[in-house]
Structure 1
């Protein structure tokens, strides 16, 4: 279980980091308020300390945490888009050369068959 949590965390952080490579900046609108990194880290620290009763003890932290997750979700989505575009571009470059070779080459590979003459059979272990 802990492996899944750590894996999800680092995957999200990687996608968030990739989102900074996107050509278009993230638009800040009234529906998606901007969150500074220090505010996000502060909200994460508070959430860790008060995870059992976060919203009842400190509703403002709960609200800021929700805003932080919205922004991280958008950043992760943008990062995934950048990663998809990089992979797509890389595969398109590789397929371009391979496609021409595949068209000129034979339709099937040569198949060589043979007969297995001896199948090794394990011997019984001697009794002691």
Structure 2
């Protein structure tokens, strides 16, 4: 759980520190240096680390909530993966004739030769002069 909080915090910090285009509205905002932001982030991280010592019940409930949310995210990812990888039947009509059962064609076994087919002796093709 703390990994996710740290990741979100540092990602947010990186996004805040990215350079922006100069606009008239940005000149009105207070200017904060990178060193000030880093020291504030360090202080916030140390305070978050002490939070669970001050509020153990809150951290326990938060841990359970993070576990439930993680399981739901995992189930959602599995469903999305199944939707993406689900094989759809070929409905283009490019293979097979009209009225032919496409399911039967798709489910045909690869060894469909009859015994008569297997008994025939192979002959090389003849070339017309």
* Fold match by TM threshold 0.5: no
Higher relative contact order (CA 8 A, sep 6+): 1
* Band of TM-score, shorter chain: 0.3 to 0.5
The normalised TM-score by structure 1 is 0.33
Whichever of the two has the greater Rg, that structure is 2
